[in-house]
A and B are shown apart, each in its own frame.
Chain A
Amino acid sequence: MENMEIKESIRNYIKTELVNNKDHQALSDSDQLIESGVIDSLGIMKLIGFLEDNMSVQIDDMELVPENFSSIDAITSLVEKKIA
């Protein structure tokens, strides 16, 4: 999967599965996902399931930190780092 594809696939998943506020429907790369409530405690588990099933990565408990999930950019770079 190309880097752009990874990013778009993550964006698409978050938009269809996690966003439920009309203010967040246009998700930019740097939009805050945690403060805005897009990712909550249930959402993070769904998102990890998605990344593990679709991107062939294993997210360790140590990597489950706000820095890695704060935006689409942050999640993409976590996945890229793991694939590389």
Chain B
Amino acid sequence: MSYVLQQLLIDSAKSHPAKDAVVFGNDKVTYGELEDKTNRLANFLVDNGVEPGDRVGIYLNKSAESIISIFSILKANAVYVPLDPQAPSARISYIIENCQIKCLLTSSEKANKLPEVLAVAPVVEMVVVTDSRNEISPDIDRKLVLWEQVLADGNAGSPTIKSISTDLAYILYTSGSTGNPKGVMISHLNALTFINWVVAYLKVNGEDIFSNHAPLHFDLSILDIFCCIKVGGTLCPVPETLSIFPSRLSKWIQDHRISVWYSVPSILSMMVMHGQLDQRDFSNMRMIIFAGEVFPVKYLRELMNLVPGKEYINLYGPTETNVITYYRTRAIPEGQSQPIPIGKCCENSDVFAVTKEGKIVTRPGEEGELMGRGTCVAQGYWGDPDRTSKVFVPNTFQPNFQEKIYKTGDLVTLNEDDDYIYVGRVDHMIKSRGYRIEIGEIEAALYTHPMISEAAVIAIPDDLISNRIKAVITLKEGQSLEAGDVRVFCAEKIPKYMVPEIIEFRQSLPKTSTGKIDKPTLVKESVQ
């Protein structure tokens, strides 16, 4: 019985130790090696003060080491916290302090950014560096340990499993409306609810070769990593820079003989447009899965024509529930422009939608906010009971026992087949390239600029990436600023995917009769 995530590796390593578990460039790690390395690192972490439930940060680019890190931390009965390797150091420091990360795993390349991060993150006591490709900055004033040393000297015995299924397994930070990211706390049971469903329903198996396109701090990575390891498949993390070049990416998929691909739709759309898909051999591909944003039907239809005979599956779910509904895509008739549904709830999870009047949506045409319930629902936001209690709420539709449901903030309706259709948001969150972005977090960053008087951030709908982010700014009297300066300023506070792509300066912003900035007018003017 596997009730915690690390057991998925322990079991697979027992049944097929010689099989490749992770392939990244020239690095190949078999299940036996993965088991051995993760045992040594986990024992080292435990011997060096990592206690059950402690948060351990992973500050690494895609690599075999990043996968080894995840399982090492879990085997130490600790909680892994993936830090976006591209994020500005102020955000990394915030996350480290927010969830009190005492130990960080990083590469020699990333370690050189650490002095800036650690200057305002006194909580970190120990840094483990995975390689010695670059000289390590002498300014890291914490205990520094080399991974190769741990692997050479460490104890390879199986660490004792102390975690139980309701303990936290990982924390994923997403955009927060008040200016700081919030940490979604996911337990082993939360993750396994989804992983077990994928394996049972999508019938992935040990012959499968899984891509891992999403970054580790993005919850799409959960399917790739844990479903693959559970079934004893081979995991191929996609190098980050490959996504910039669609035809190289499609060739990589062909060369790695990927059979289960999972990514945000915009990456697939880019391959449809520029990926030379008609020249690729995808005969090993079985399944193309996508999630994170609406897939524009014209690109999805074209993809299904270019790569025919595969299963196309749309998954839906905010990080707070992992995945909660799915839809198996059927042929899309020419001329259809409506997006495909988000579908029906996954087994052992439940969803329902509640109208403004508090009634449950039962018919096409009715619209309501989608609620998720079941063991997939996260444990809340780290250290933030206020925001937690606003969206993780008691289920008042079921008065007989205490049950927590998650208010997704997503508006949905039903179609004739009882599939849910995504309609929009109840708040100011937007999606761009699959990332959740709180408009308020970008505005908060802009307002910290001493020359900016007023700022309004709006989303300009876009076929390819869902939304482009535009900021309309007025400056304080006598000040002057270039768009590039504003972007550089933002990039020190928020991740690159949140930095406004379009920046417009105005003398004044349009206001509504109540004196608020009139965003609908700004949007209208911007899309004309």
A binds B: yes
Which chain B positions have C-beta within 8 A of A64? 245-247, 274
Q: Do B433 and A42 have beta carbons less than 8 Å apart?
A: yes
Q: Binary interface profile of B, 289-303, with partner A (CB < 8 Å = 1, else 0)?
A: 000000000000000
Which chain B positions have C-beta within 8 A of A30? none
Which chain A positions have C-beta within 8 A of B492? 22
**Size class of the contact patch on chain B:** 20 to 34
Q: Do B245 and A40 have beta carbons less than 8 Å apart?
A: no
Which chain A positions have C-beta within 8 A of B241? 34-35, 66
Which B residues from 466 to 523 make CB contacts under 8 A with A?
Answer: 482-484, 487-488, 490-492, 496, 499, 501
Which chain A positions have C-beta within 8 A of B266? 41
Instruction: Give min CB distance, A41 to chain B, whole Å.
Output: 5
A15 to B482, CA, bound (A): 11
Q: Do B276 and A62 have beta carbons less than 8 Å apart?
A: yes
A6 to B164, CA, bound (A): 62
Partner of B248, one of A15, A37, A39, A65: A65
A20 to B491, CA, bound (A): 6
Q: Do B247 and A39 have beta carbons less than 8 Å apart?
A: no
Q: Does B200 contact A (CB under 8 A)?
A: no
Q: Do A21 and B488 have beta carbons less than 8 Å apart?
A: yes
Q: Binary interface profile of A, 54-84, with partner B (CB < 8 Å = 1, else 0)?
A: 0000000110111001000000000000000
Instruction: Give min CB distance, A25 to chain B, whole Å.
Output: 7
A84 to B86, CA, bound (A): 38
Q: Do B247 and A65 have beta carbons less than 8 Å apart?
A: yes
Which chain B positions have C-beta within 8 A of A41? 243-244, 266-267, 270, 433
Which chain A positions have C-beta within 8 A of B247? 61-62, 64-65
Q: Do A19 and B244 have beta carbons less than 8 Å apart?
A: no
Give the number of A-B contacts (CB < 8 Å): 63
Partner of B245, one of A16, A35, A66: A66
Q: Do A40 and B244 have beta carbons less than 8 Å apart?
A: yes
Instruction: Give min CB distance, B47 to chain A, whole Å.
Output: 36
Q: Does B343 contact A (CB under 8 A)?
A: no
Instruction: Give min CB distance, B268 to chain A, whole Å.
Output: 12
Given contacts A61-B246, A64-B245, contact A37 B496 (CB under 8 A): yes
Q: Do B465 and A42 have beta carbons less than 8 Å apart?
A: yes
Which chain A positions have C-beta within 8 A of B215? none
Which B residues from 438 to 476 make CB contacts under 8 A with A?
Answer: 464-465
* Closest chain A residue, CB of each to CB of B270: A41
A34 to B275, CA, bound (A): 18
* Closest chain B residue, CB of each to CB of A37: B86
A62 to B246, CA, bound (A): 10
Given contacts A37-B86, A62-B276, contact A44 B488 (CB under 8 A): no
Q: Do A65 and B245 have beta carbons less than 8 Å apart?
A: yes
A21 to B86, CA, bound (A): 11
Which chain B positions have C-beta within 8 A of A16? 482-484
Which B residues from 227 to 256 make CB contacts under 8 A with A?
Answer: 241, 243-248
Query: 7 more A-B contacts (CB under 8 A) besides A17-B484, A40-B244, A45-B270?
Result: A15-B484, A19-B488, A20-B499, A22-B492, A40-B496, A41-B243, A69-B244
Name the 4 nearest CB pairs between A and B, nearest first.
Answer: A20-B487, A20-B491, A61-B274, A41-B243
Give me the interface of B with A, judged by CB distance under 8 Å: 86, 241, 243-248, 266-267, 270, 274-276, 433, 464-465, 482-484, 487-488, 490-492, 496, 499, 501
